[in-house]
Each structure stands twice: as structure tokens, then as C-alpha cells.
Structure 1
């Protein structure tokens, strides 16, 4: 089983309130979002990892969602090419930090490929890549080719409704997969132990496993009980302001 040593996060910028969204939940409250991000950091501090906190960047409202800008594997990092035009240049403000950790093992997605790593889920040495409005076929194929150079594998999964693959999925190690909506019956995941998250708690399908702990959004008791029943230590964090801009627990960190 993997064990994470490092986590990278970025302080939310004041322009967060203008982040991309399809949620129709209103604009985030910046101070509340900042408090929630601090709570998220405190949750990670309980997971035996070294945390790098990058400074806020007002040029990019969505830059708090560092997960989309790079895929960090045990052997290499792959700088992505975000599919949202307003996020495309976010890779320029993450690359130096990634290079500090991975030195000469940094790869890049190139045009016309687009990839946001919120569409990529790691299960052991295999990476599921969702085709979405943000990740296209060329990007997914480039990602698989790069992974293969390092002895890793990848496969493509089609999405019907959700923004990102991990909007509706979370792999919790030990063969356990949280899934909601369209993913419950997808053949690609049928070999895993699927824990069904009901539609009314679908937002909670996006969690993160960090060294035996599961960090999840607060306020979803059915999902929490199902995760606890699997033997994980559950840490809840309030992400209400990030939900307003289509963000979840996994989006706010790179873990490797």
C-alpha cells in the first residue's frame, strides 16, 4: 500500500469568489473559505505528512484547486494542461514547486491535449482517466503514454454527468471505492468493493485517503457511517464555500 509523505496546497485568493462554477449556490464568502482552508490544513496535519502551503495568487481565482494542475505519482510528476481557459496558465505557478520534489522526473501534457487531474484516480499502479469537458482524448492518451514510461498503466473512462471523474468517486485503498450516480454500475470498477453513496449525499463521494485516515466533507452522516464501518479514521471538514465553485475535498491538495 502507498504511504503519502508530502502534500501541496495553496492558500485561496481573494478572487476565489469569481471562480468557475455550475453549482448555482451563490458566491463564496472569502473569509469563511479561508477559515475552511485552514481547517483543511489542520486535518492534513493529523495524517503524518509534510505540508507545503503555496501563497495565494489573485490572478487565478481557481488556483486553490491545485490537484488539477499536476499528477503526482511515486515515480514522476506530470504537469497537466487544464481544459478551462482561465486555468490554463495555472501550471506556470505550480511547476517550480513540483520540480523541487521530482527534479528530472517531471513530464508535461502538450497541446492539443487537455487534462485536469481531478479526472484521474489512482488505484495501485493503475490510473483511471475520465473524459470530460476539461480532459480530452488527446490529453488522456498522452497521460497513458507517459505513465507507461514509468511502468504504470492507465485506462479511459467516459463521464456522462459529472464535472470530474473524482466528483463521483474516491478510492480509499484496500480495494474500497466510494461511488455515486453513474459510477455505481460502471463495468470498469466492478472488481472493486463499491460503497454506494446515495444521491442526496453525492457531494460526499469526493473524499481523500491519507495514510489510513479519510478526510471528508462535513454534514453527510450516511457516508460517514459507511466509511467508519470499513475501519478508517474519519476527519470531517467544512467545504461549503468550495462547493459553491464546484470544489471538493480532493481538489485542494496534491498528495504523494
Structure 2
């Protein structure tokens, strides 16, 4: 799997009452309560954009009591060998793993491994780029989880490159995204000097954490949140085709384009 290749199949979860029905926003890492009608309209626009780009979209009903279930990226990692069941670092998200695994089982994808306690890994901290796996160690992905995942990935033949992610980025996916098989969008000041050896890097302008969170639809074709105007201009200046969506109701849950999409299949893996 290379996240810079053409997206063929994705699993998403349309927001419903669970997305806005919570007592304690901080327990779910929400910045504020979203507007459900607007969130549904924004999500529908994302699904339509994916469909227009010939992506097979599987939309799941939400998991009751789990407002973060809309962020399908995090509970699992899909590899060419099958899926790895992760273990969420945010306690209120525990339970999403089995829910999403059941949906992926139904698609006929085998399980290739699992993260077990005390380890935690969230999917936003793992980016596959051909035979390289970029892994963030963060508030959501701990040392025990990282070592379990690194062992699994190395047995699959991946070169694992890891770095610590500052808390303000939440996951490594807030600081970098693949935009082509050998091309990366990244935030400056986060990564070691040799982290992207072998890749071409477009550096995002210094700005808000999360601005490097863009979803690759095909090489040099991405989806970006309309709030990230500087990144959009930078990418377009480098010849990248950028499709802009208003995802403001998901930013209230600290999510961006990649968070909303679990990539099941891409061209070449």
C-alpha cells in the first residue's frame, strides 16, 4: 500500500446523533459540539467527491455512543497482507476497533495482526509509502504499541521510520501526507533531517497544526479542507490538483480529510 497512489475503495461512517450527543466534549477530544445537519452535508459532499473520482465507497452506520466513529482512519491499519486491529489511545474510542474490524471482515479482508494492551496505536499515526512505513509516537500511540506495530510491519518487509509527534499535531497525519508515491507534504520543524530520504518534500507554510492533513485521491490529486488556504495555494503552486471541501464541522472533532476515510484498496496494493 502506498498512500500516494490512486484510491480505489474506502470505508466511511456518516455522522448521526452520536456525533453530537455527548456530555463531555473533552473526554472525546472535541473542541466544540458540531452542527449535525451541516456535518452530514459536508460528509455527503466528501462521499460524492470520492464517487466522482471512481472510488468505491462503503458507508457504515455510526456506532452508538461513539462520536469519533466518523473518523474511520484510526481503528485499523490496512496492509497488503490484511488488516491490523489497532488499540485506541483515547479511552472513549475503545470499542471502535471491533466495530470496524467486523465491517472489514465482511468485505473479505483477512486479519494480519493486532495491537494488544498495554500498547496503543491509532491509524492516524501510520502512513504507508511503498516499502516505507512512517510511524508517529504520540499521545495516542505509545512505546509499547509502536514496538508491537514495528515488529508486524518489519515482518511484512517494511522499513519503519519513526519520530515523536508534538501534542499539538495529535497524530503524524496532522504533520504529513503522501500526495504521490514519492512525494510528501510535511510541516517544517517536526521531522528529523533524514526522515524523508528518497522522497520529494513540499514543505507546508508554518501555520496551524493539522494543515498537512490532505487526502490523496491519485498521484498529485488531493482533497483539502477549505480552512487551509496557505497549504492549498502551496500545493497548487507545485502543480498539485486540489479539491477543496468545507470540513469545518469535523475540525470541531479535531479531524481532517484523511481522518474521515479508511483506505481499503489503492492502485498497486
TM over 0.5: yes
Choose which of 120, 132, 141 in structure 1 pairs with 2:138. 132
Q: Secondary structure at the match of 2:94?
A: helix
Instruction: Give per-residue Cα distances to partners, 1:179-229, cap 9 Å, x unaligned.
Output: 124336643125432222223354431001112320111143332232223
The reply to whether residue 72 of structure 1 matches residue 78 of structure 2 is: yes
Aligned partner of 2:7 in structure 1 is: 4
Aligned partner of 2:216 in structure 1 is: 209
C-alpha distance in 1 between matches for 2:88 and 2:37: 27
Aligned partner of 2:178 in structure 1 is: 171
- Aligned-pair distance for 1:101? 3.5
Residues 87 and 122, structure 2, Cα contact 8 Å, conserved in 1 = yes
Aligned partner of 2:244 in structure 1 is: 236
The reply to whether residue 49 of structure 1 matches residue 59 of structure 2 is: no
C-alpha distance in 2 between matches for 1:114 and 1:21: 17
Instruction: Give per-residue Cα distances to partners, 1:58-83, cap 9 Å, x unaligned.
Output: 32111000100011122221110001
The reply to whether residue 197 of structure 1 matches residue 200 of structure 2 is: no
What are the residue-to-residue correspondences of 1:212-231 with 2, within 5 Å? 212=219, 213-231=221-239
**TM-score under structure 1 normalisation?**
0.90
Instruction: Give per-residue Cα distances to partners, 1:113-149, cap 9 Å, x unaligned.
Output: 1000101112212111111111011111111111223
- Count of paired positions: 254
- Aligned-pair distance for 1:102? 4.8
Q: Secondary structure at the match of 2:12?
A: strand
Note closer, same or farther for the CA distance 1:73–1:53 as it changes in structure 2 (3 Å cut).
same
Instruction: Give per-residue Cα distances to partners, 1:5-39, cap 9 Å, x unaligned.
Output: 2100011132323352264xx32111111111111
Note closer, same or farther for the CA distance 1:184–1:112 as it changes in structure 2 (3 Å cut).
closer
**TM-score under structure 2 normalisation?**
0.86
- Runs (5+) with no aligned partner, structure 1: none
Name the one with the larger helix percent: 1
C-alpha distance in 2 between matches for 1:55 and 1:130: 29
RMSD (Å) for aligned C-alpha atoms: 2.1
- Aligned-pair distance for 1:174? 4.0
